[in-house]
Structure 1
Amino acid sequence: MEEILAKLLVANSKVIQQGTKELKEAFKKPEAIPALCEVIVSSPNSQIRQSAAVLLRRKLGKKRQWSKLNVETRNRIKQGMLQALVSEQEKLVKNAIAQFIGIIGKHEFPDNTWPEVLQFIHTLCSSDHIFDRELGMYTLSIMTEISQGSYINHADAFAILFTNILNTLPELNSNLAYYTVVTMNNLVSVIAGHQQMVNVYHNLLPRILEIINAFSQEDEKRACELFEILEELIEYAVAVVVPHVRLIVDMCLRIGGDSSMPTTVQIKAISVVGWLIRSKGKVIQKNKLVEPIINVLIQLMAQQPDDDVNEEYFLGDPDQFTSITIATQTLDLIALHIPSEKVVPYLLTRVEPAIQGNDIYAQKAAYLSLAVLAEGCSERIRHKYLEPFLKCVCNAIHNPNAVVRNAAFFALGQFAEHLQPEISQYAAELLPVLFEYLGQVYAQMEKDKTESASLDRLFYALETFCENLDEGLMPYLPTLMDRLFVALDPTGWSMQLKRIALSTLGSAASAVKEGLLPYFQKIIEILNVYINADPNSEIHQLQSYAIEALAVIAQFIGVDNFKPLAAESLQFGLKVLDDTDDPDVRKSVYALFAALAIVMKEEISPVLPKVVEQMISSIQSSEGIVTHYEEEEKEDLDVYAELSDDDEEEEEDLDVASSSSADSTHCRYSVENSYNEEKEQACLALREICINTGNSFLPYIEKSFEEIFKLINYPQEDIRKASVEALLQFCIALHKMNSTETKQALYKALQMFIPKCAELIRTDEERSVVMCCLDAYALLLDEVKSGVLVGEGHREAIMNCVIDVLTLKTMCQDTDLDVNHENADEEGEAEQDELLLESAGDVIPKFAAAIAPDDFMLYFPNILQLMTQRTKKQNSISQRSFAYGTLAECMKSLDVYVEKFNQHLLHLWLTGAKDAADEVRNNAIFGLGEMILHGKDRIFPFYQDILQSLSAAVAKESHAGTLDNICGALAKMIIVNSSGIPLEQVFPVFIQRLPLREDFQENEAVIKCFFGLYRQGNSVLRDHLSDVIKIVVQIYQRKQFPNDETQNLLVEFIKTVNRDFSEEFGNAVSSLGPEVTESLQNLFAS
C-alpha cells in the first residue's frame, strides 16, 4: 500500500495514473482499509502518512461505508487512530488523523459506541501544549457537526471545557479560539432546554464577541463563519443574547460600518443586526439602538456601488448581497418591526440634509430610505408625511444624474404600492410627470440606440401607480396606451423595453378592466406576434411575458368581450404546455388557464384532466433544486496546510462511486426562482379553477388538496401562502356542493387544514403567512360557519391561536415584553405587528357567529380584557379603533349575555366616544348602538346616561361617519324602547342629522326605527312626517341601503306612507325635484 501511495505523490502524471489504478484495485479488497491504517502509524514518509489519513477520511466519510466494516476492524481503527494522534509529531499528519477521528466520531458517538473518544479529547484539551488543545477542539468541532442531541448528556464536561479554554486563550485570533467557537456553534440548537449550558453561553458571549472582532480584522472566511454563532443563538437560544444586545449591536455596527473591513464581513455583521431587529425589536428599542443602527445603514447606503447604472437595491440571494443591499434590507426590517414613531422622525433628520447637499450618493441613500419606509410605516406616512414625501421625490425625478433619478423612481413605485389609497389622489400631478419623462427616455433611446439607465425604475413606478389607480387611470389611459404601443412595436430593437411594457400592459388591464376595450383588438394583434414568434427569433424570449399579459386581459376585459377568443386561447395554451420545458412559460400558461376558467366557467371542464394533471406535476416536481456543497469551494478540511492539487483530485476520483450520498458532506439546497414561481402559480390557478368551475372540479379536489397540502411547510413564504389560499378554497367549494359525499370530504379536509393552520400560526416566522392562516379561519367561519367547528378540537385550535396572537406568543412576534401586557403597549407595536393583531381580531366576530351565545359568553371575558388593553390612549389610533370595532361586532353574538358585561362595556363605549381620533369615536359609538340593540331591556337602566353622552357628542361632532353612528345609536334606542326616551326632544334633533352622509350601514336601523314608530302610530313621528318622507325618499333615490332586506323594508315604508298620507307625501316629494318624482312614479307603477 505504501508503494501505491508513493506513486500518487510524484510529479509524473503517468505514474500518478498508474498509482490511481492500483489504488482502485486495492480498494476492492477488504484488507485495504487496515493497510492504510498501518501506513499511518508505520511509514517514515510524512506525506504518505498524511495521504493515508486523508484517503481513509474520504473512503469512510459516509456512514454506510463505515458500517460495512466488521466490528473488530472498526474497534481496531478507533483504538489505533487515537494512539496515532498522540504519537504523531508532524502537524499536517496530526491534523489529517484528527479529521479522520472526527469523521468516525460522527458515526459512532450518537450510538454511544465510542465513549473513549470524549475522554481522549478532554485529555488533549487539558494539555499544556497549545497544539494538543487545538487538535482536541478541532476533532470535537468535526464530531459535533451532526447528532448534536447526543452531546447534551455531557453538558457538565462541555461547560467546564468551553469556559477553561476561552478564558485562557493565548491569542483571540488563534486556531484554538476558532475551533472552540465553531464547536459551541454546532451545539447551539440543543442548549435551549438546558439551563446550565444557557448560562455558560451567556457568560462566555462577551469573550466570543472579542474573538469574532479579532478574526474580522485578519481572516475574512473564518470571521464570517464565527458570526454564525450569533445568528444561531438568536434563532435557538435567544435568552443567551438578550442581555448582551447592546454589546452585540455595537460590535456589529463598528465592523459593518468600517470600510476597511472585507465586504463579506461587513455584510455578516449587518445581517446579525437584521436578525436581532426581526426577533427582538423591543429589546433594540429599550437599549436605544434604533438611531445608531439607522446612522450606519444610511452611511452604507450612501456608498458608491460597483455599477451605477445597474445597481441593485434589494437582492434575495445572500450570495449576491452587497454592503448597500444588506443596509437597505436591514432598514426595511426596521420599518417593518419597529414602531413608526421611533423610525420616521429620526430618519428624516438624516434624510433632509442629504437631499439638500451635493453628494449624489447621499441623495440616493436618502430616497432609498424613504422608499423602504413605505411598507412598514405606511400608516404614519399616509397621515402625516405623504405630501412632502411626494414633493421631494418628484423633484428628484428631474435630477440630471441617473443615480439620484433611479432611486426617486424606485421610491415612487414603493409609494404607489404601499401608500394607497391616499397616493391615488395625486395622480393628476404624478402621472403627467412620468409620461413626460418617458417621452424623453424614448427620444434619447432612439437617438443613442442604447437602453436608458432609468428604464426599469421608471416603468416600475409607472406600473405600480397604474395597478393601484383602478378606474382612476381612465383619464390617463390614452396617453399611457400611446406610450405602451410605441414600446411594444415588435420591430423595435430594445428587448428590455418590450419586456417591461408587457408587464405594464397587464397592470393597466387589471386597473381599468373593460375600459381597455377601445384598444383590445390592437393589443391582441400585438400579443399574437410575441406569443406565436418563431422559436429562433429574438422576441420569442418574451413569450411568457406576452402570455401573462393575455391572461390578465382575459381576466379583466369582461367575460363577454373575451369569450370569442377563449376556445382558441385554450387550445393554444394546451399546445404550449406540450411543447415547453421552461418553468416561466408553464407559469404563464397556468395563469392563462386560471383566467380562462373565469371566462368559460364549466365550459373549460373537458380539458381539466390534462390541465390539472400538469399543474399537480409542477406542484410535485423537484426540478430546479440546486445542491451547494461546501467542498466545491476546493478547500480541503485540513486544519493547516492542504494536500497538493494532485492529491485532492485523487481524493475526488476515489470517491466517485459513493458521491451520491451526502451524509458526510456539508451541503445546502436551493430552488431556482422560476420553479418556485411555477409551483406558486399552479396553486393559485387550481384555486381559481375551483372557484369558477363548480361541481366540475369535484373529481380533482381530493388529489389537489393532498398534493398542495404537502407544500404548506415549503421554505418559500409565497408558496406557503398560495397553498393556504388554495386549500381554503377547496374547503369552501366542498361546503357549497352540499352533498353527503362532499360533506364527508369537507370534514376530512378540515381535520387536516384547521390543525395545520394552527401550527403555522404558532410556528411560522413570517407574519404574512400567519395573517394568511388567520384570514383563512375568518373566511371559513364566514362561509362554512358552525361546520368548521364540528371536528374534535377545532374550536379550541382556532380560538387559542387568536388568543396567542393577541398575547404576542407566536414565533413571528417579539415576545420579550409580554409578561406585562400594559408595559408592552407602552413600547408600541410596529405597524405590521398591528396588522397581525387585527387579522386575529377579525376571526373573533365570525367565530362568535358560528357558536351559540351561551358558548360565546364563556370566551368573551378573555376577549374583553385583551381588547380593553388595546383601547388605552398609549396605543395607536388603528389599535384603539380595531379594539372597539372588534368588540362592537361581538354584540350580536353575545345577545342577552350583554347584561353580564354592560357596566364594563358602557364605560368603554362612553370613553371611546370622547377619543381624539375620528375612527375611534366612530367605532365606539357603533359599539354602543350594537349593545343597545342586542342587549334590549338589560340596557334600559342606562338610557339616561347614554342619551346625555350622545347629546354631548352630537353637539360638537364634525366627522361624518361618527355623526352617522350617533344617528344609528339613537335609532337603535328607539327600535328597542321608544318609550324609554323623551322623543319630543330627541326626535327633532335626530332627523336634523339625516339623511346619513357616509356610513349607510346605519340606514338599516334608521328605516326600522321610522317604520316601527309609524306602525305604533307615534304622534311625534306624525308631527315630523314631511321631514321623514323627504329623508326616506332621498335614501331610496341615492340607493343608500346596505342590503336587500333594508331595501325591501324601505320600499314598503314609502308605499305605506304614500297610501296613508298621499297628499302630504306628494307635497314633500315635490320639493325634491322632478327626477325624484319620476323615480317614485316608476316605483309605484311596478
Structure 2
Amino acid sequence: MTVLPFGDAAVMMLWEFDNDDDGERIKGECNSGNTTSGVVVIVHMTNLILNGCGGREGLCWIKVKFRDFIPSILNVSRQCLASGEEDVAIIAFEIFDELIESPAPLLGDSVKSIVQFSLEVCSTQSLEPNTRHQAIQIISWLAKYKSSTLKKHKLVMPILHVLCPLLAESTNENDDDDLAPDRAAAEVIDTMALNIPKQVFPPVFEFASVSYQNANPKFREASVTALGVISEGCLELMKTKLEPILHIVLAALRDPEQMVRGAASFALGQFAEYLQPEIVSHYESVLPCILNALEDASDEVKEKSYYALAAFCENMGEEEILPFLDPLMGRLLAALQNSSRILKETCMSAIGSMASAAEQAFIPYAERVLELMKNFMVLTNDEDLRSRARATELVGMVAMSVGKTRMEPILPPYIEAAISGFGLEYSELREYTHGFFGNVAEILGDNFAQYLPHVVPLAFSSCNLDDGSAIDIDECDDEIANGFEGVSSDDEAHDEPRVRNISIRTGVLDEKAAATQALGIFAQHTTISYAPYPLLELLFEGAAKAKEVLDTVMDIFIKTMVEDDDKEVVAQACTNVADIIRDYGYATLEPYLPKLVHATLLLLQEKSACQEVESDSEIDDEDSAHDEVLMDAVSDLLPAFAKAMGAQFDSIFAQLFDPLMKFAKAFRTPQDRTMVVACLAEVAQNMGFPIAVYVDRVMPLVLKELASSEATNRRNAAFCVGELCKNGGDSAL
C-alpha cells in the first residue's frame, strides 16, 4: 500500500483537523479501518507535537489530544497487521520512537498500551523480521530514555516475560542477523539492565533458574545467555548471588548441546570481565570447567572459552594460577599450532593473561611461546595481520613476566620484526607494537636507548595521524521529499543542513593513545637518553596553549555536568574533572572552583538535567532515579577537592555536607550508604582537622555501617572510623 503522497481528500482532512476542537471525526476515520487516513493522523499529530504548533497552550492541547488518539492509532496498526499491511505499523513504531526520545512528557498512561502492542508484535513469529525488530526497538528506547516510566507503570516484569523467551527463538539462517529476534531481545535486556538493574535482575534470574533444566536446548541456551547479557548492568546484584549463578552456568558448560556450551562460555567471559574481584574467589570450581571446555569439539565453544580464560586470569595471582598453569598451557600451546586463525588469536590473549598472572612461574613456558611467536610476527597477508598484532602484544607481556635477564639477549629479532610491521598499513598492528615497545623499554631501562632512534619517530608518526572523524551532511531535506517534513524533535531542523551520521575511526585513536603512552614510558625509563628528542610541540605550544586547552576542556566538563541529560556522560565528566584536580592541584582548580562547586551541589541535590524526572513519571524517595555510577563519580569529586585544597576545603564542604548525607538515610541502598562513608573517609583524610566539626553527625552512621552484612560497607566504615579518629581530635574520642 502506498500511503504517500496524499490526495486532496487527505489534505482537506488535515486542514479540518486543525480546526476540529475535539478530533472525534478523525478518530472515526481511524476506527473505521481507513488506514490511509489513520497514518495521515499519525504523521500530522506528530508534526504538531514535535514542532510545538500553537505555542505552549497549543502544545498542551495537542498532548492531551494525542494521548486520546493512541488507542485509535494502535487499532489501525492492528488492522493493518491483520491484513498484511505491515508497513503502516512500522510507520507507527517510527513515530513512537520520535515521541519516546522527546524530552517532553508526551505518552502518559498510554505507554502501557504502546508496550502491550509492541510485545504482541515482537512475539508474533508470523510477522516480518523488520516489523518485529521495530517493536522490540520501542522497548529499547523506553528502557533507555523513559526507564522510570517503565518502573512506574510496572511494565518491567511483563516486558521480560516476553523478551527472555525470545532469546530461545530459533533463527532462520537466511534472516538478517541484525533483525533476529533473539539477538534484538538480548540487546534490549542489556539496555534494561544498564538502566534499571534492580528491576531487571530478579525476573531474569528466575527465568534462568527455571529454564536451565528445560528439555528444549534453546531454553537452556537462553538461560545462560540472559545471565551473561545482564552481567554488566546488574553486576552488584549478581555478585551477591554468584554461587547459584555459577551453578547454572557451569552446569550449562557440561551440556550435551553445543549451543548451550557456547552460551555458557560466553557468560563466563562476561562474568570474568564484570564481576571482579568476587568471581576470582571461585577459581577452583571455574578453571577446571574452562579447562575441559578448551577440549570441546566445537571451535565456537573453544573460542569463547579462550576468551573466558583470558578475562578470568587477568585478575588472578601467581599462587592461584599455579596449580592450573601446566595443564592450561599444554592446551594453549597445542591450540597455537593446530587451530583456526581466529582461535589462535583468542588463544594468544589467554596466554598473555596467564603470563601476567603467573609472573616468574611462567618462565618454563616462555621459550616455547616466544619461538612460536616468531612465526606470527613475520606474517604479511592482510587476513593474518590481526594475528601478527596479537603475537607482538604477547611477546611484550611475556617479556614483562620473565624479566630483563632472560629477555635482553633474545630481543633484537623481535624488535626488528615489530619495526618492520609499520610498513604494512594496519592500525591495530601499530597500536599493539607501540605497547610492545613500551614493555621492552620498561624491562631494559637505559639499555633501550639503542632503539630510541628507530621507535621514537614511529611513535611521533602515529601521534600526528588524522583522527579520522567524519560527518555526513544531507544536502537535501529528505523528510520534505518523502512527505514526512516536521517529524523531528529539533525545532530548527530545516534551518541548517541535517547531520546524518557522525563517525570516529576509533582504531586510529587507539593507535595514537598507545603511541603517546609509549613516549611517556620511553622518557621515564631511558631518562637522560630520551632528552634529545622533542616534545609534542604541535599539541602543547607553551603554557598559554596549555591554559587555553584546559579552559576549553573544563568549560565543556562543567557544562556537561549541569546540562547533559545522559547520566553516563555526566559521570564520565565528573571522573575526568576529579582526575584533572588530582593531577594538577589547587592552582589549576581555583579559576573554575565556583562553577565546579555549583555543578557538584546540583548533582548532589539531584537537580541537574540528567536527574530531572519526566512529568509522566512518579518516583518515590525510596526508589530514587539517581544512577549509582553517576553518584559514585560525583562523590569522588569531594575527596579530589579536599586533596587539592586541604583545610581550605572546609567552607565548601559545609555547603555539600547535607546534600551528601541525604544518600546515607536508612531507606537508601547499602551501595548509597557505603558511597557516603567512603567519601567522608577520604575527605577526612585529605581535609584534616576541620573534619572534627562533623564527627558527631557522622560517627553514628559509620558505627552502624561497621555492623553491615555487606563486606564492602564494613571495610569502608572501618577506614572511615580510622580517619575520623586520626583527624577529628577530641570529638572523635
Which bracket does the TM-score occupy, shorter chain normalised? 0.7 to 0.9
Alpha-carbon displacement from aligned partner over 1:551-595 (angstroms, at most 9, x marks no partner): 444555545654556665454444322332x34434433444454
Contact 1:282 1:817 in 2 (8 A): no
Deviation at 1:879, TM superposition (A): 1.4
User: After the TM superposition, which residues 1027-1046 of structure 1 pair with which residues of structure 2 at under 5 Å, given as runs?
Assistant: none
CA gap 1:177/1:465 in 2 versus in 1, 3 angstroms = same
CA–CA distance in structure 2, aligned partners of residues 601 and 192 of structure 1: 69
Contact 1:198 1:240 in 2 (8 A): no
Measure the CA separation in 1 of the matches of 2:662 and 2:104.
Answer: 27
Task: Choose the corresponding residue for 1:799, options 579, 592, 597.
Answer: 597
d(CA) in 2 for partners of 1:192 and 1:898?
55
Aligned counterpart for 2:228 among listed residues 371, 384, 390: 371
Indicate conservation of the 8 Å contact 2:622/2:668, yes or no: yes
What aligned pairs does 1:119-138 form with structure 2 within 5 A after superposition? 130-133=9-12
Alignment partners' CA distance in 2, 1:618 and 1:209:
55
The equivalent position to 1:404 in structure 2, one of 237, 260, 269, is: 260
Q: Deviations over 1:316-368 (max 9, x none)?
A: xx98232111111111222222242x333333333333222211112111111
State the shift of 1:844 in Å: 0.4
1:336 aligned residue (194, 215, 240): 194
Matches within 5 A, 1:457-536: 457-471=304-318, 472-489=320-337, 492=338, 494-533=340-379, 535=381
Residue 380 of structure 1 is aligned with which of 232, 237, 245?
A: 237
Equivalent position of 2:131 in the other structure = 265
Is 1:326 the equivalent of 2:184?
yes
CA drift at 1:802: 3.0
Residue in structure 2 matched with residue 872 of structure 1 by the alignment: 665
Task: Name which of 66, 74, 80 aligns with 1:204.
Answer: 66
Distance 1:891 1:638, change over 3 A: closer
SS at 2:698 equivalent? helix
Aligned pairs for 1:1022-1061 (under 5 A) are none
Structure 1 CA distance for aligned equivalents of residues 653 and 214 of structure 2: 57
Q: Secondary structure at the match of 2:146?
A: helix
Q: Look up the equivalent residue of 2:165 and give its one-letter code.
A: Q
1:786 to 2:648 alignment: no
CA change 1:261–1:347 in 2 (3 A) is same
* Alpha-carbon contact 1:807-1:818 (below 8 Å) kept: no
Q: In structure 2, the residue corresponding to 1:343 is in which secondary structure? A: helix
Q: Give the distance between the partners of 1:936 and 1:519, measured in 2 at CA.
A: 56
Higher relative contact order (CA 8 A, sep 6+): 2
Alignment of 1:887-926 (within 5 A): 887-892=680-685, 895=688, 897-898=690-691, 900-909=693-702, 912=705, 917=710, 919-920=712-713, 923-924=716-717, 926=719
Q: Does 1:757 align with 2:551?
A: no
Pairwise CA distance, 1:433: 2.2
TM-score (norm 2): 0.83
Shift of 1:797: 3.7
3-state DSSP of counterpart to 2:665: coil
User: Partner letter of residue 589 of structure 1?
Assistant: T
Question: Deviation at 1:880?
Answer: 0.8
Distance 2:501 2:538 in 1: 27
Using the alignment, how far apart are the partners of 2:598 and 2:412 within structure 1? 49
For residues 835 and 846 of structure 1, the distance between their equivalents in structure 2, rounded to whole angstroms, comes to 17
Q: Indicate if the aligned counterparts of 2:129 and 2:179 stay in contact, CA closer than 8 A.
A: no
Change (3 A) 1:387 1:542: same
Structure-2 separation of matches of 1:421 and 1:461: 15
Assess if the C-alpha contact under 8 Å between 1:885 and 1:924 holds in 2.
yes
Deviations 1:377-405 (A, max 9, x none): 2222222x211111221111111111222
Residue 173 of structure 2 is aligned to residue 294 of structure 1: no
Shift of 1:475: 2.5
Question: Does structure 2 retain, via aligned residues, the 8 Å contact 1:619–1:679?
Answer: no
Instruction: Report the residue type matching 1:542 in the other structure.
Output: S
Q: Pick closer, same or farther for the CA change 1:159–1:461 going to 2, 3 Å.
A: farther
Equivalent-residue separation in structure 2 for 1:298 and 1:502 (angstroms): 34
User: Hey, what does 1:838 align to over in structure 2?
Assistant: 632
The amino acid of 2:90's aligned partner reads: C
Q: Give the 3-state SS of the residue equivalent to 1:420 in structure 2.
A: coil
Structure 1 spans left out of the alignment, 5+ residues: 1-90, 99-123, 138-156, 312-317, 445-450, 640-661, 706-740, 940-945, 947-972, 974-1086
> Partner of 1:16 in structure 2?
none
- Cα deviations by residue, 1:522-567 (Å, 9 ceiling, x for unpaired): 222211211213539x756632332343344455554565455666
Residue 249 of structure 2 corresponds to 393
Amino acid at match of 2:668: N
Cα distance in 2 for residues equivalent to 1:521 and 1:258? 58
| Secondary structure of 1:240 counterpart | coil
Q: Aligned pair in 2 of structure 1 residues 196, 829: CA closer, same or farther (>3 Å)?
A: closer
Residue 520 of structure 2 is matched in structure 1 by: 690
Over aligned residues, Cα RMSD in angstroms? Answer: 4.3
Query: Does residue 544 of structure 1 match 2:544?
Result: no
Greater shift after overlay, 289-298 or 248-257? 248-257
Q: In 1, Cα distance between the equivalents of 2:90 and 2:4?
A: 23
Q: CA deviation at 1:888?
A: 2.8
Q: 1:894 to 1:495 in 2, by over 3 A?
A: closer
Q: Distance in 1 between matches of 2:522 and 2:570?
A: 27
2:135 is aligned with 1:277: no
Superposed CA deviations along residues 871-923 of structure 1, whole A, max 9, x for unmatched, are 12222222111112212322355555446545433554455456555544554
Q: Could you tell me which of 458, 472, 475 is aligned with 1:611?
A: 458
Partners of 1:412 and 1:858 lie apart in 2 by: 48
Distance 1:352 1:690, change over 3 A: same
Change (3 A) 1:391 1:566: same
Tell me if structure 2 keeps the 8 A contact 1:867–1:884. Answer: no
Identity of aligned residues (%): 24
Q: 1:418 aligns with which of 265, 271, 274?
A: 274
Give, as a single letter, the amino acid of the residue that structure 1 aligns with 2:374: N
Q: Is the alpha carbon distance of 1:465 and 1:95 closer, same or farther for their aligned partners in structure 2, counting shifts above 3 Å?
A: closer
**Counterpart-to-counterpart distance in 2, 1:159 and 1:542:** 67
Say how many residue pairs are matched. Answer: 709
Contact 1:594–1:686 (8 Å) recurs in 2: no
CA distance 1:539–1:687, shift in 2 (3 Å) = closer
Q: Do residues 433 (structure 1) and 312 (structure 2) align?
A: no
Partner SS, residue 230 of structure 2: helix
- In structure 2, relative to structure 1, the CA distance for the partners of 1:214 and 1:598 (3 Å cut) is farther
Kindly report which structure 2 residues correspond to 1:73-222, keeping only aligned pairs within 5 A, or say none. 130-133=9-12, 166-167=26-27, 169=29, 174-182=35-43, 185=46, 191=52, 195-196=56-57, 198-199=59-60, 200-208=62-70, 210-211=72-73, 214-215=76-77, 217=81, 218-222=84-88
Aligned: 1:251 with 2:49: no
Query: How high is the TM-score relative to the length of structure 1?
Result: 0.58
Counterpart position of 2:489:
none
Question: Could you say if the C-alpha distance between residues 925 and 321 of structure 1 is closer, same or farther in structure 2, counting changes exceeding 3 Å?
Answer: same
1:227 aligns with 2:93: yes
Q: How far, CA to CA, are the matches of 1:893 and 1:886 in structure 2?
A: 11
* Cα offset, 1:663, TM superposition: 12
CA distance 1:760–1:667, change in 2 (3 Å): closer
- Counterparts of 2:637 and 2:509 in 1: how far apart (Å)? 29
Give CA deviations for 1:595-653 in whole Å, capped at 9, x if unaligned: 45545668365356633443245442358x89999999xx99678xxxxxxxxxxxxxx
Asked if the contact 2:228–2:271 (Cα under 8 Å) also holds between the matched residues in 1, the reply is yes
Kept in 1: contact 2:269–2:312 (CA 8 A): yes
CA, structure 1 residues 560+758, in 2 after alignment: closer, same or farther (shift >3 Å)? farther
Q: Check the 8 A contact 2:437/2:455 in 1, yes or no.
A: no
SS in structure 1 at match of 2:256: coil
Q: Say if 2:574 is the partner of 1:774.
A: yes
- CA shift, 1:783, in A, is 2.8
Contact 1:466/1:507, CA 8 A, preserved across alignment: yes
Aligned partner letter, 1:525: E
Instruction: Summarize deviations over 1:712-749 as a string: whole Å, max 9, x none.
Output: xxxxxxxxxxxxxxxxxxxxxxxxxxxxx965554333
SS in 1 for 2:668: coil
| CA deviation after TM superposition for structure 1 residue 702, in Å | 5.0
Q: Secondary structure at the match of 2:215?
A: coil
